[in-house]
Every structure is written in structure tokens, then in C-alpha cells.
């Protein structure tokens, strides 16, 4: 049996779904000092609300709360059901420590204990 719903009911359901996604996600995008909440993220991209989405393109930062996750190069993909989708051209994980310029031995000591 096919259910026929009015356009108003479908719009209300889409708005409720979008609001639920906004509340559930801690992810946010930062571009030139402005923040945009991320609705969904997948391996090759993410989406934000279409009404909040300017023509974003280029280098952006992706955060989970206050944790800086990725520095991304993005391009706009498509708009679908109130979401603007973006694809990653590059997503580089942010390192918490500087890269080593030498090979660390497996049995190397973690710290130096000296006698007083």
C-alpha cells in the first residue's frame, strides 16, 4: 500500500530530521573564524545545513568539540534535501606531536632515571 503524504507533512519531517542531526553531531567546521555545524560525515566528505552553507571551497578545519581532527581541502558537491554536501580533495589528520627525524629503537628507554 502506498502512503501519500502532503508536501507540508514531508517538509515538517525533513525539518525534524535535520534538527535531530544538528543536535546529535558534535562535529563543526571552521572557516576564516566562522563555525558551521556538521550534520553528517562519511569517509569521503560531509554535509552541513544548506541555509547556513556559503559557497565554501578550499582549506577548512574540522573539529569534534574542541579537538582539531582534520585540516581539509574541500569542494562543494551537491545540495539534497536541505543539506549541502562537500567532498574531500584532501583530509590530513592533525598531529599532536612533531614528526621524528630519526628511527626510534623498540627497546629504547622511555625516560632517564638518575641517582641523586
Q: What is the pLDDT, as a whole number, of residue 1? A: 37
pTM to 2 decimals? 0.64
Q: What is the pLDDT of residues 35-68, one digit of tens each?
A: 888 888 899 999 888 887 777 888 999 998 888 8
pLDDT digits (tens, 9 = 90+) for 68-99: 888 999 998 888 878 889 999 999 888 877 77
Domain ranges for the chain, please list them.
27-93
Q: Which element (helix H / strand E) includes 63?
A: strand 58-64
Question: Can you give the pLDDT at residue 9?
Answer: 75
Sequence-distant (6+) residues with CB within 8 A of 89 are 72, 73, 74, 75
Amino acid at each position: 500500500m502506498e502512503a501519500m503524504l502532503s508536501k507540508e507533512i514531508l517538509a515538517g519531517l525533513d525539518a525534524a530530521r535535520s534538527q535531530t542531526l544538528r543536535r546529535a553531531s558534535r562535529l563543526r567546521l571552521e572557516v576564516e573564524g566562522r563555525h558551521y555545524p556538521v550534520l553528517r560525515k562519511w569517509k569521503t566528505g560531509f554535509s552541513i545545513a544548506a541555509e547556513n552553507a556559503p559557497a565554501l571551497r578550499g582549506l577548512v578545519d574540522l573539529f569534534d568539540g574542541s579537538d582539531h581532527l582534520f585540516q581539509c581541502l574541500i569542494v562543494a558537491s551537491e545540495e539534497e534535501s536541505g543539506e549541502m554536501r562537500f567532498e574531500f580533495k584532501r583530509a590530513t589528520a592533525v598531529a599532536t606531536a612533531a614528526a621524528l627525524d630519526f628511527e626510534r629503537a623498540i627497546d629504547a628507554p622511555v625516560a632517564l632515571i638518575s641517582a641523586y
